[in-house]
């Protein structure tokens, strides 16, 4: 029978009983019943103002009111043609502004649909990825690093423990991972880290002492694979003779080295084109990775990021550099790779580039990328990345396509250019056009009296300037929407 005690005071079995569920999750029939009973897991959308009222806003803001007054003064002073021109400008500007805001709202709605929030829950005994809005009371939710908690929940179990040798693997936090089997513990991780934990090696089916020559041979083999772009893991094991209460760190000592596992993960073909477009646009691209240095160099050469020998700065080397030494390295414009970097070092690198006066854009998809994404002038998150990365970024690449990054940068440049032009015209529109059209020309050394105001050409010039500036601003806005990915 459901308990009325606070959920956090209940034991795990009581939680399941209170919510009429189990660790295996709910059935489809029960889910339908609970959705009907409780509704969807989402907040109600705020009420929107009608389109008519939103259009009216474009006619009643401060600058529009000034123009209404200016047009009225034109009628009073006997120049109705100027008054009609000024009022026409108000309506034209209101129409363009309303349409732009409406399209922006539609685009934002479409974007939210392209990036729906999802969560992993157990249903019918299987782990499923569902929309957050479809979560119902009683759903067992599985959370992973970087996930956003999708609903009010009670923690009933957890797995995993932070222990072992910490390092970065492919931008994600990783550790030597012991896999326990009967009388055997197998460990995998960075080859050199694994090798440092080994005292013996399996060679020709026999376990022998790991000599300096054998260590050098393993290191050379690892480097040979890495220099061809392979990602390499080292595998080791030990017999389980000690008490099972030993910590992972204790279990990862005195291991037997078993061998290397090399995996190829070639870069996507469009990456090279994206890098080339960045270079053509004057954008300097720097690789920051958790990969082994030689692997990073090989991949950088494949995508055209570096030519010839690269300058590889490891996380270990970075930790010993002063700010002045780092700045000296960053003056190198090409062939620079940062490998085996920790999250705090990536953040330090971004801060160093900004301190040197650079405009910095950072791409990332993991939890560890969040600090750098936040610190950068422009954070670009990958759409398939973690919630933390997406929320830390300024822009999200929905399709996870590298060419989209160059498109986003191109659009940003075009937007800046058009905004600069709009600022110029809007300044003339507000500072010069309105006073002239209203007959207030004293700032320009001319006093428009009732006797000369009606026919004075400056009033017509002011009206024309206002009309031209409105048209230019509107055309620039439309041109931004016509920029194509292939342009």
Whether 401 and 275 share a structural domain: yes
What is d(CA 304, CA 287) in angstroms, rounded to the nearest whole number? 12
Smallest Cα–Cα separation from 82: which of 457, 442, 445?
Answer: 457
Whether 338 and 441 share a structural domain: no
What is d(CA 451, CA 77) in angstroms, rounded to the nearest whole number? 9
How far is C-alpha 66 from the chain's CA centre?
A: 42
pLDDT value at residue 456: 55
Mean pLDDT along residues 370-395: 84
Q: What is the residue whose two structure tokens read 């005690």?
A: 5
- Cα 27 to Cα 127, 153, 158, 349, 444: the distances in Å are 13, 19, 23, 50, 79
CATH at 251? 3.40.1110.10
Let me know if residue 152 belongs to a domain: no
What is d(CA 230, CA 233) in angstroms, rounded to the nearest whole number? 10
Tokens of 119: 């969560």
Let me know if residue 309 belongs to a domain: yes
For residue 63, name the pLDDT band (cuts at 50, 70, 90). Answer: confident
The pTM (predicted TM-score) of the whole model is: 0.64
Whether 73 and 16 share a structural domain: no
pLDDT value at residue 67: 80
What is d(CA 393, CA 323) in angstroms, rounded to the nearest whole number? 26
pLDDT at 423 over 80: no
Parallel, antiparallel, or unpaired: how do β-strands 287-288 and 336-339 relate? parallel
Domain enclosing residue 298, as ranges: 269-408
Whether 123 and 75 share a structural domain: no
pLDDT value at residue 480: 61
What is d(CA 404, CA 379) in angstroms, rounded to the nearest whole number? 14
Nearest 5 degrees, angle CA 273-CA 277-CA 283? 130
Whether 285 and 397 share a structural domain: yes
Whether 121 and 108 share a structural domain: no
pLDDT value at residue 71: 82
Residue 355: count of CB within 10 angstroms of its CB: 12
Whether 366 and 426 share a structural domain: no
Q: At a CB cut-off of 8 Å and minimum separation 6, what does 67 contact?
A: 86, 87, 89, 90, 434, 466
pLDDT value at residue 402: 65
pLDDT value at residue 347: 93
pLDDT at 346 over 70: yes
Let me know if residue 160 belongs to a domain: no
Average pLDDT, the chain: 79
Three-state DSSP class for residue 443: helix
Let me know if residue 63 belongs to a domain: yes
Let me know if residue 240 belongs to a domain: yes
How far is C-alpha 231 from the chain's CA centre?
A: 25
Q: How does pLDDT run across 153-195, given as a tens digit for each residue?
A: 888 887 654 432 222 223 222 334 444 445 567 777 889 989 9
Percent of the chain having pLDDT more than 90? Answer: 28
pLDDT value at residue 444: 45
Q: Which residues pair with 128 in a beta bridge?
A: 121
Tokens of 158: 């957890």
pLDDT value at residue 452: 46
Whether 104 and 137 share a structural domain: no
pLDDT value at residue 150: 87
Mean pLDDT along residues 135-151: 87
pLDDT at 448 over 50: no
Residue 268: count of CB within 10 angstroms of its CB: 13
What is d(CA 270, CA 400) in angstroms, rounded to the nearest whole number? 12
For residue 449, name the pLDDT band (cuts at 50, 70, 90). Answer: very low
Let me know if residue 11 belongs to a domain: yes
Let me know if residue 151 belongs to a domain: no
pLDDT value at residue 338: 94
**Domain edge (last residue) among 264, 283, 305:** 264
Detail the DSSP E strand segments found in 273-390: 287-288, 311-314, 336-339, 361-364, 378-382
pLDDT at 133 over 70: yes
How far is C-alpha 234 from the chain's CA centre?
A: 32
Mean pLDDT along residues 430-453: 50
Nearest 5 degrees, angle CA 79-CA 473-CA 282? 155
Whether 223 and 129 share a structural domain: no
Whether 384 and 480 share a structural domain: no
Whether 292 and 401 share a structural domain: yes
**Domain edge (last residue) among 243, 264, 285:** 264
Q: At a CB cut-off of 8 Å and minimum separation 6, what does 108 contact?
A: none
What is d(CA 478, CA 487) in angstroms, rounded to the nearest whole number? 16
Let me know if residue 157 belongs to a domain: no
Q: How does pLDDT run across 211-226, given as a tens digit for each residue?
A: 999 999 999 999 999 9
Encode 146-171: b = buried (16+ Cβ within 10 Å), e = exposed: bbeebeeeeeeeeeeeeebbebbbeb
pLDDT value at residue 106: 79
Whether 182 and 245 share a structural domain: yes
Instruction: Name the least confident of 154-168, 194-208, 333-347.
Output: 154-168
CATH at 121? 2.70.150.10
How far is C-alpha 487 from the chain's CA centre?
A: 24
Count of the separate structural domains present in the chain: 4
**Domain edge (last residue) among 408, 430, 450:** 408
pLDDT at 459 over 60: no
Percent of the chain having pLDDT more than 70? Answer: 75
Mean pLDDT along residues 15-42: 90
Q: How does pLDDT run across 298-336, given as a tens digit for each residue?
A: 999 999 988 888 899 999 999 999 989 999 999 887 788
């Amino acid at each position: 029978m459901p308990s009325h005690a606070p959920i956090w005071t209940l034991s795990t079995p009581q939680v399941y009983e209170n919510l009429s569920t189990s660790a295996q999750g709910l059935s489809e029939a029960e889910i339908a019943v609970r959705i009907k009973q409780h509704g969807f897991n989402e907040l109600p959308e705020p009420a929107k103002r009608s389109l008519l009222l939103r259009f009216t806003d474009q006619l009643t803001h401060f600058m529009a009111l000034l123009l209404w007054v200016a047009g009225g003064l034109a009628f009073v002073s006997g120049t109705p043609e100027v008054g009609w021109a000024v009022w026409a400008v108000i309506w034209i500007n209101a129409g363009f502004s309303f349409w732009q805001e409406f399209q922006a709202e539609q685009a934002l709605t479409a974007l939210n649909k392209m990036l729906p929030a999802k969560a992993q829950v157990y249903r019918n005994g299987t782990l499923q990825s569902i929309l957050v809005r479809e979560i119902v009371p009683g759903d067992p939710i599985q959370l992973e690093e970087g996930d956003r908690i999708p609903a009010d929940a009670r923690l009933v179990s957890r797995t995993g423990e932070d222990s072992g040798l910490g390092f970065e693997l492919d931008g994600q936090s990783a550790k030597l991972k012991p896999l326990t089997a009967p009388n055997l513990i197998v460990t995998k991780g960075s080859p050199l880290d694994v090798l440092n934990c080994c005292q013996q090696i399996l060679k020709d089916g026999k376990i022998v002492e790991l000599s300096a020559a054998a260590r050098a041979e393993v290191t050379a083999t690892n480097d040979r694979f890495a220099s061809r772009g392979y990602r390499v893991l080292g595998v080791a094991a030990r017999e389980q003779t000690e008490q099972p209460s030993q910590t992972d760190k204790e279990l990862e000592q005195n291991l037997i080295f078993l061998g290397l596992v090399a995996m190829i993960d070639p870069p996507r073909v469009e990456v090279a084109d994206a890098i080339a477009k960045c270079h053509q646009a004057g954008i300097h691209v720097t690789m920051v990775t958790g990969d082994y240095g030689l692997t990073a160099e090989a991949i950088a050469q494949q995508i055209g990021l570096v030519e010839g020998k690269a300058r590889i700065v490891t996380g270990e080397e970075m930790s010993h550099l002063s700010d002045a030494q780092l700045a000296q390295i960053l003056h190198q414009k090409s062939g620079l790779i940062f490998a085996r970097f920790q999250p705090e070092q990536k953040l330090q690198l971004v801060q160093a580039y900004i301190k040197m006066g650079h405009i910095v854009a950072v791409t990332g998809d993991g939890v560890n990328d969040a600090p750098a994404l936040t610190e950068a002038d422009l954070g670009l998150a990958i759409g398939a990345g973690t919630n933390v990365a997406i929320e830390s970024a300024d822009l999200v690449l929905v399709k996870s396509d590298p060419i989209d990054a160059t498109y986003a940068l191109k659009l940003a440049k075009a937007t800046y250019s058009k905004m600069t032009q709009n600022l110029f015209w809007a300044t003339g529109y507000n500072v010069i056009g309105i006073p002239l059209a209203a007959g207030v020309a004293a700032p320009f050394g001319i006093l428009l009296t009732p006797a000369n105001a009606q026919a004075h050409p400056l009033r017509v010039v002011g009206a024309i300037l206002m009309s031209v500036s409105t048209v230019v601003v509107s055309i620039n806005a439309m041109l931004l929407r016509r920029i194509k990915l292939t342009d």
